[in-house]
Structure 1
Amino acid sequence: MGTQRPLRVGIFVFDDAEELDIVGPYEVLTWWAGHSALRPEVVTFSADGAGVRCAKGLRLVPERSTQDVGPLHVLVYPGGRGTRPLTRDSEHLDWVRTMRVQTPLIASVCTGALVLAAAGLLAGRPATTHWNAFDELAMIDRSVLADTEARFVDDGDVVTSAGVSAGIDMALHLVARLDSVEEARAVRRGIQYDPAPPV
């Protein structure tokens, strides 16, 4: 990722984004930022810098807009029902393509993969999404090599994760990739993430 500028991670937020798609990776990445010698910066931003209302009603006020977020090393793109209109928004898809050119790593959570596919970023590539959205993914781009089993798929410059809580797994993977496995394990311990579902 280079040493020219500090490592910067941006999490894009929008109306009707799934809450955990945002705050799961945010918790992982900001815990890492607060404890790693790399001191990465994690920022949230929306299209216009205004607050957003997530899918279940949580309201978030991002730090920046797309215009002033600045250069990123990693873009995290969450999912949720708000992705559907964005898959048909040509101006937004142009922005996603521009970010792809400017940003070394794009990572989607859940149905954020639908927007990446609509922008052409997943053509002919392995990817995953929420278990209930694979038909939608195929309708957008049948060339995507859908992985219906993986919690996340790392295809180099694009990483996709399965639904909702899988974004936490993907974010831990990003820490391991950008920093170290030891640091990712420290984050996992720090946030006490040790899945053992009671049901």
Structure 2
Amino acid sequence: MTSSSPAVPQAAASDRGSPPHRVAVLIRPGFIPFELGIPHRIFGTARDAALRPLYEVVTCTPGGPGLVPSDSDVAVHVAHGPEAVEDADTVVVPASHEYGPVYEEGRLTPELAEAFRRIRPGARIVSICTGAFALAAAGLLDGRPATTHWATTDHFRRLFPRVHLHPEVLFTDDGDVLTSAGVASGIDLCLHLVRRDHGAAIAQDVARRTVVPPHREGGQAQYVERYVPERDGPGTAATRAWAAERLAEPLTLVAMARHAAMSVRTFTRRFRDETGESPGTWLTRQRVEHARTLLESTDLPMDQIAQKCGFGTAQSLRAHVQSALGVTPTAYRRTFHRVA
């Protein structure tokens, strides 16, 4: 399970005459060196069949060219100012540990606001970790799904109540705006973008060269939720983890509310407050995500996948996958099935 709002584009080979996709990594003082390295490594490793680079990655900073300190004892000399985002196809905003008004008040600094203003219409905007605070402060996440580091979710919700926050996922994909959870989940998101742009084979090659899995297996929602503080509290996180481990079962709203020791009405209200979704919508999304994993990583027939995901029949599986992803399960498997 990787995305709360998955987008599945058609895999495509590199066009011999097309220039590389330009990625601008917008860093601020207090940036995390590891997060700066993620887009450079993942996008910078992607090559077409003729070994031509598929991406051009540049680093820029809102304050203009110069030395930018990190959150450790190193600094980097950045050659580009905010003008670099103007011709970028994708802008990546990593986290910064010099929190300031973005994190503390949900307000952009004048320099950062100017940098966001320069991003051209139609460009793809991506955050890593608490970089989502900057996207939210710019108004880019209002009414959209998003995620961020699990430890900051309560604070994020207080600052940005209009954002549909999903702390249980590793990343969200809402088409032109994407967010990732804490730190290393930026790798998952950047690999997802390579797969989205150029198909599974190139993404797998990048993953092999980077020595990371091309797609994290198993219950990614449960993996993240183990660390959400409210799991042992009065919220619905523990029930979400419980349900995600029982997708093949006929889970009902009554059963989920009973597990949470709440009335159906209270459970439904709290569930929506915490996830931005109804329990039914959330459960269907988990089942579709599990189906994606099985379609990509197994040769199981469709009726068995349907049973394992709780859809019951192959016809039901087809209807839900087509509705969520825009393609049939067969077409999805044809594009993204991974060869062992």
- Tell me, yes or no, if the aligned pair for 1:97 and 1:121 is still in contact at 8 Å: no
- Tell me, yes or no, if the aligned pair for 1:28 and 1:168 is still in contact at 8 Å: yes
Deviating more after overlay: 174-183 vs 76-85: 76-85
1-structure distance, mates of 2:115, 2:158: 19
Bigger-Rg structure (1/2): 2
Percent of pairs identical after alignment? Answer: 31
1-structure distance, mates of 2:122, 2:30: 24
Question: 2:162 aligned with 1:143, yes or no?
Answer: yes
- Tell me the CA shift for residue 58 of structure 1: 2.5
**1:26 matched residue in structure 2:** 40
**1:160 matched residue in structure 2:** 179
When normalised by structure 2's length, the TM-score is 0.52
Deviating more after overlay: 130-139 vs 187-196: 187-196
- Tell me, yes or no, if the aligned pair for 2:144 and 2:164 is still in contact at 8 Å: yes
Q: Secondary structure at the match of 1:15?
A: coil
Q: Deviations over 1:164-184 (max 9, x none)?
A: 111111111111112211111
The amino acid across from 2:32 in the alignment is: E
Q: Deviations over 1:89-124 (max 9, x none)?
A: 442353354245535200000000001111111001
- Tell me, yes or no, if the aligned pair for 1:93 and 1:119 is still in contact at 8 Å: no
- Tell me the CA shift for residue 59 of structure 1: 1.3
Relative contact order higher in (CA < 8 Å, ≥ 6 apart): 1
Q: Secondary structure at the match of 1:178?
A: helix
Deviating more after overlay: 139-148 vs 33-42: 33-42
Once superposed, what is the RMSD of the aligned Cα atoms? 2.5
The answer for unaligned runs of 5 or more in structure 1 is: none
1:88 paired residue among 83, 94, 107 = 107
- Tell me the CA shift for residue 190 of structure 1: 0.7
How many residues are treated as equivalent by the alignment? 195
**1:178 matched residue in structure 2:** 197
Q: Deviations over 1:25-45 (max 9, x none)?
A: 221111115985463211111
2:134 paired residue among 86, 100, 115 = 115
1-structure distance, mates of 2:48, 2:41: 11
**1:54 matched residue in structure 2:** 70
**2:59 matched residue in structure 1:** 44
2-structure distance, mates of 1:31, 1:61: 22
Deviating more after overlay: 94-103 vs 183-192: 94-103
2-structure distance, mates of 1:178, 1:27: 16
Q: Secondary structure at the match of 1:9?
A: strand
Q: How has the CA–CA distance of structure 1 residues 45 and 58 changed in structure 2, closer, same or farther, with 3 Å as cutoff?
A: same
Q: Deviations over 1:43-75 (max 9, x none)?
A: 111121112111122211223111355400000
